[in-house]
């Protein structure tokens, strides 16, 4: 499933830099058009450690107008969140119509980690994934456009990436024993991720691995289609 993402496809740095002005202009124009849309855009970034999720989200905030963007990443639930239903904190953070929400892993993190660490059985995992599809179906039924991107690295590439981050004084804090533990459990992560992506790539909210859709997409309005196409092109190009 992830073979295409492990081919190491890149573009020359000079070509990338030459594309930046046009990409930024396209992003800002898309964001401007979205402000009058009757639907919100929910963008989910997930993937293996070191694949560029955080960098991509930071770059999108830099290139677009952050006043109209909701950006969220989640750790362990706070005391307040723990006293409420599991999805309460996600509902609370959803963007309004005409706005963009960028979510790092979000409601996918706990099910995948529970499966990798053996805290859930196969049936439990499938139940958690079914809950996710129900949650996303509720959002799309209400008009939301959901874009989901899986950021992937092969095991060797992930190792090189983590070592590169460790060598840089500015980024070494991002690599902890936990990241190396996850690297050693790489095969388990990939197996859980493949199952999650296949079961949650739906007509309403398909996953995309780079610009390749996983599963099939539902029909969309012209405004949704225009925004989705621009987002896919931009996400492919800005990925670090």
18-73 per-position pLDDT tens digit: 988 998 998 899 999 999 999 999 999 999 999 889 989 999 999 999 889 999 99
Give the CA count within 13 Å in the CB-facing half-sphere of 53: 24
**Quick check: helix, strand or coil at residue 231?**
helix
Ordered structural domains, the chain, with CATH: 4-238 (3.40.50.300)
pLDDT in tens, 113-129: 999 999 999 999 999 99
Residue 85's CB is within 10 A of a number of other CB atoms, namely 9
CB 180: neighbour CB atoms within 10 A? Answer: 14
The token duo for 236 is 């492919």
CA distance linking residue 27 with residue 31, whole number of Å: 6
Question: From CA 222, how far away is CA 4, in angstroms rounded?
Answer: 29
Look at the alpha carbons of 76, 129, 197, 222 in this order and tell me if their dihedral is positive or negative. Answer: negative
Whether 38 and 97 have beta carbons less than 8 Å apart is answered as yes
Residue 103 · residue 91 · CB < 8 Å = no
- For the chain, give the mean pLDDT: 86
User: Tell me, what's the pLDDT at 182?
Assistant: 93
**Sheet holding 41-47: strands in order across?**
69-73, 100-104, 41-47, 145-151, 207-209, 212-214
Q: Are strands 145-151 and 41-47 parallel, antiparallel or unpaired?
A: parallel
Q: What is the pTM of this model?
A: 0.84
The larger pLDDT score, comparing residue 145 to residue 5, is at: 145
What is the sign of the dihedral through the CA atoms of 95, 97, 102 and 107?
positive
pLDDT in tens, 144-186: 999 999 999 999 999 999 999 999 999 999 999 999 999 999 9
| 178 Cβ contact list (under 8 Å, min separation 6) | none
- Token pair for 173: 């804090």
Nearest to 175 by CA among 189, 164, 186: 164
- pLDDT at residue 142 is higher than 60: yes
**What 3-state class would DSSP assign to 201?**
coil
Q: How much of the chain is helix, strand and coil, in % rounded to 5?
A: 55, 10, 30
């Amino acid at each position: 499933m992830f073979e295409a993402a492990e081919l190491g496809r890149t573009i020359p740095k000079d070509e990338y830099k030459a594309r930046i002005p046009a990409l930024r202009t396209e992003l800002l124009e898309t964001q401007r058009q979205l402000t009058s849309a009757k639907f919100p855009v929910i963008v989910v970034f997930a993937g293996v450690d070191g694949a560029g999720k955080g960098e991509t989200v930071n770059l999108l905030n830099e290139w677009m107008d952050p006043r109209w963007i909701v950006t969220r990443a989640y750790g362990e639930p706070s005391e307040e969140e723990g006293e409420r239903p599991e999805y309460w904190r996600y509902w609370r953070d959803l963007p309004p119509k005409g706005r963009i929400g960028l979510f790092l892993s979000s409601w996918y993190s706990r099910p995948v980690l529970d499966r990798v660490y053996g805290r859930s059985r196969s049936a439990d995992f499938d139940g958690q994934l079914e809950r996710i599809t129900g949650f996303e179906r509720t959002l799309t039924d209400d008009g939301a456009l959901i874009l989901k991107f899986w950021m992937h690295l092969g095991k060797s590439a992930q190792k090189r990436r983590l070592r590169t981050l460790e060598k840089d004084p500015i980024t070494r804090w991002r690599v902890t024993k936990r990241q190396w533990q996850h690297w050693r459990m790489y095969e388990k992560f990939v197996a859980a991720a493949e199952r999650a992506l296949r079961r949650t790539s739906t007509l309403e909210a398909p996953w995309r691995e780079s610009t390749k859709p996983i599963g099939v997409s539902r029909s969309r309005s012209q405004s949704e289609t225009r925004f989705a196409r621009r987002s896919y092109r931009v996400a492919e190009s800005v990925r670090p």
